[in-house]
Amino acid sequence: MVGNGPIHYRFNSCLCIFHEGWRHIFSKHSQQPRSGGWYVKPAVRLSLYLLGLLTVLLQTGCVATPYYLQSVTGHLAIMHAAKPIDQWLADPQTPAALKARLALAQRLRHFAVTDLGLPDNASYQRYADLHRSSAVWNVVAAPPYSLTLKTWCFPVVGCVGYRGYFDEAQAQALATQLQSDGLEASVYGVPAYSTLGWMNWAGGDPLLNTFIRYPEGELARMLFHELAHQVLYVKGDTPFNESFATAVERLGSAAWLAQHASVEARTQYARFDARRRQFRTLTRQTRQELASIYESNEPLALGATTQEAMKLRAMERFREQYATLAAGWDADDADDAARASRVGPAAPPPLPHSGYDRWVAKANNAAFGAVAAYDQWVPAFEVLFARQNQMGGNATVWPRFFDAVRQLAALPKPERTQALQRLSCGGPAKSTQTELVEAGVVAVACN
């Protein structure tokens, strides 16, 4: 749902569990060093995959688990389809428009390393056309009267509130099963996912057709977000991980747009981001309303029918408010076109909102729960970055920021949560604190 959807959904794949097996089977006969990491000769790459897969499945007792097998085969198919960007650029059959996007991605990748201090490795140095609209499909689920997501637990990454599939039909089948178990379920397409840097030895995460044609600002956000996951990942704390990466994408894309983008690209991004923020504000408000209904109005106290009625009214109000919001967007686009026809210059193209439309039509507890994971602690991380920025030394701001985040990550989860709350309360920007309150974060230390 990135591009014209409500949120940058990503998928930190449980594929990283296979890293441990692969890591132990390298030999000097199967590798050659190169800039940015190790290069595995094509002749032995497949055998390494298969041997590593077998090793780890045996160690984890997952030999007969179809889910892990589909994860591995799906990822291998993507890696097999990927080719170095230089090959795509040199190929006369590559469309000029695609070449331009790949060249832009290369510049963004370089900026990520030189200006943001993000990892310089094999990731996003290759491109693959999957001939489909999503890289994977995630399934999320929640109870009828709760926004707390069902979790699945995996080696290495810990417990997460989603389950990802490379086959949409399998994702839909799981959603149907969860619904039969009494849960509300949602399936959404994911344009990109991260193997957390553990697959860089085999070529890294590639650029994909599922997001390469995003507007410049959105492509920057995507790349910076995924690379941020390679800087730091805390096992079993999705809100921390996603909020950190989202903060990096926001701050990094703002820096890129200010320094390198055209006026047209900055204008396009500003329009898109303004609407995204409006939509997120609406979903935050509805999430808070639903949480209040579920937390303070237990079915035994009011009766299940009363609570259900309150829930349905909240969802109905959400859809009515969204319809008003979308109508306003359409009116703004029409006004821009009319103004341009009278005085010029040409109006920017209308911004589609079909992704938002689809999300709203299917919104349920699971969908609202998934959105919350991506922005809960973003204001806290932005305050932390601002504090590092106030210390001066532009070249060292990002390394200091990452070091400070690592210190937070090292804390036990309860202490980490308290630290993020206190940090947000002490932020220098009033708007940032307002965002925190709107997000439903109770910062006791502020009082």
Give me the number of domains the chain comprises. Answer: 2
Tens of pLDDT, residue by residue over 16-68, are 333 333 333 233 333 333 334 444 444 345 445 544 554 555 455 544 478 88
Same domain, yes or no, for 248 and 381? no
Tens of pLDDT, residue by residue over 271-309, are 999 999 999 999 999 999 999 999 865 555 556 688 999
Same domain, yes or no, for 253 and 387? no
Residues 6+ apart with CB under 8 A from 286: 314, 315, 317, 318, 368
Last residue of a domain, one of 217, 232, 264: 264
Q: What is the pLDDT of residue 43?
A: 34
Closest CA to 154 of 41, 98, 72, 52: 72
Closest CA to 402 of 123, 117, 196: 117
Tens of pLDDT, residue by residue over 301-327, are 556 688 999 999 999 999 999 999 999
Same domain, yes or no, for 151 and 27? yes
SS3 at position 411: coil
**pLDDT, average across residues 83-108:** 97
Using CA atoms, how far apart are residues 325 and 341, in angstroms rounded to an integer? 25
Q: What is the pLDDT of residue 301?
A: 53
Tell me how many degrees the CA angle 27-31-33 measures, rounded to the nearest 5: 125
- Largest Cα–Cα distance in the chain? 70
Tens of pLDDT, residue by residue over 216-257, are 999 999 999 999 999 999 988 988 999 999 999 999 999 999
Domain span at residue 180 reads 10-264
Same domain, yes or no, for 46 and 170? yes
Using CA atoms, how far apart are residues 89 and 190, in angstroms rounded to an integer? 26
For residue 130, give both structure tokens. Answer: 């999957």
With beta carbons less than 8 A apart as the criterion, state whether 398 and 251 touch: no
With beta carbons less than 8 A apart as the criterion, state whether 378 and 435 touch: yes
With beta carbons less than 8 A apart as the criterion, state whether 186 and 107 touch: no
pTM as predicted? 0.81
For residue 409, give both structure tokens. Answer: 């990550």
Whether 35 maps to a domain, the answer reads yes
Whether 275 maps to a domain, the answer reads no
Last residue of a domain, one of 220, 240, 264: 264
Closest CA to 417 of 432, 398, 436: 436
Same domain, yes or no, for 77 and 205? yes
Whether 68 maps to a domain, the answer reads yes
> Residue length, the chain?
447
Same domain, yes or no, for 129 and 259? yes
Whether 44 maps to a domain, the answer reads yes
Whether 146 maps to a domain, the answer reads yes
Last residue of a domain, one of 231, 264, 297: 264
**pLDDT, average across residues 7-11:** 48
Whether 339 maps to a domain, the answer reads no
Whether 341 maps to a domain, the answer reads no
Tokens 């055998």 sit on residue: 47
DSSP letters, 206-262, are PEETTTTTS-HHHHHHHHHHHHHHHH---TT-HHHHHHHHHHHHHHHHHHHHHHH--
Same domain, yes or no, for 403 and 254? no
